[in-house]
Amino acid sequence: MGNESGRQLASKWAKTEALLSHAQIAPHIPPTRMFTRDNLSSMLNQHSMVVVKPVKGAGGHGVIKVTREGGSYRYTYYSKTNSFHSFEGLYKSLNAKRGNRRYLIQKGIRLATIAGRPIDYRVKYVKQPEGHWNITAIVGRLAKPGLFVTNICRGGTLLSGSEGIRRSFSSASVGPKKREMRTLTQLSTEVLESRFPGMGTLGFDYGIDTSGKIWIFEVNTRPQ
């Protein structure tokens, strides 16, 4: 069985909802809503930074960071920034960018950094022919300078998970953080498998914020 085997589940919304249903996993999922005018307004009232991204997306395409400072707004798409003096202007511009694709709004996580570059982690979890699951890799991905997305196809740099945690936190954090990611991966897979039978290889995207808290950004069912 290759990596192409197993069920694909493209909707980030369906997977996020499933994980939110589990009391031990839910605290690690950034608050998430469907993109609507009202949800954008209330999310930006609650959080000074949100990320807007396609329900069905990959490779960091269409992922937009939105920040609020008082009554002004700014969004960053790739390395381009747009500023708005009103919520209305922000909403219209984002909605035009979205076109007719469905988008999510997620609380923005302030990732730990190395030399100012955000880092996050990919955990690859593979279902063996015998039926049990194995973690085959934990890698760190360092954003290209100037970008907030870490995707390799957007110029991100790979390093080992251990090196990433050591350089963004400390050597003493490596064991505990990797352990926490392993536990969340195992638990989340049980939840996803019971909802969506037939998945083969999973790629978990984890962020660690500046306070050390671990967040699940998404679970890929056809990881690279």
Ligand X SMILES: Nc1ncnc2c1ncn2[C@@H]1O[C@H](COP(=O)(O)OP(=O)(O)O)[C@@H](O)[C@H]1O
Given 53, 117, 124, 127, the residue binding ligand X (CB under 6 A): 53
Given 20, 39, 57, 169, the residue binding ligand X (CB under 6 A): 57
Residues 154-213 that bind ligand X (CB under 6 A): 205
| CB neighbour list of residue 33: distance below 8 Å, 6 or more residues apart | 39, 42, 43, 104, 105
| CA separation for the pair 186, 216 (Å, rounded) | 13
| Interface stretch with ligand X, choices 37-45, 55-63, 126-134, 191-199 (CB under 6 A) | 55-63
The option from ligand X, Mg ion, none interacting with 76 (CB < 5 to 8 A, set by class) reads none
**CA 20 to chain CA centroid, nearest Å:** 14
The option from Mg ion, ligand X, none interacting with 51 (CB < 5 to 8 A, set by class) reads ligand X
Residues 205-224 that bind Mg ion (CB under 5 A): 205
The option from ligand X, Mg ion, none interacting with 57 (CB < 5 to 8 A, set by class) reads ligand X
Q: Which of 124, 149, 120 is nearest to 135 (CA)?
A: 124
> Binding to Mg ion by residue 120, rule CB under 5 A?
no
Question: What residues are paired with 32 via a beta bridge?
Answer: 106
Residue with smaller CB distance to ligand X, 50 or 90 = 50
Looking at residue 95, its amino acid is N
> Binding to ligand X by residue 58, rule CB under 6 A?
yes
Question: What residues are paired with 50 via a beta bridge?
Answer: 66, 107
Given 76, 151, 185, 201, the residue binding ligand X (CB under 6 A): 151
Residue with smaller CB distance to Mg ion, 64 or 90 = 64
- Determine the Cα angle at 205 with ends 75 and 26, to 5°: 90
| CA separation for the pair 121, 11 (Å, rounded) | 20
Residue with smaller CB distance to ligand X, 31 or 175 = 31
Q: Which helix (H) or strand (E) holds 159?
A: strand 157-160
Give the gyration radius of the chain's Cα atoms: 17
Residues that bind Mg ion (CB under 5 A): 205
Residues that bind ligand X (CB under 6 A): 30, 51, 53, 57-61, 63, 106-109, 120, 149-151, 205, 217-218
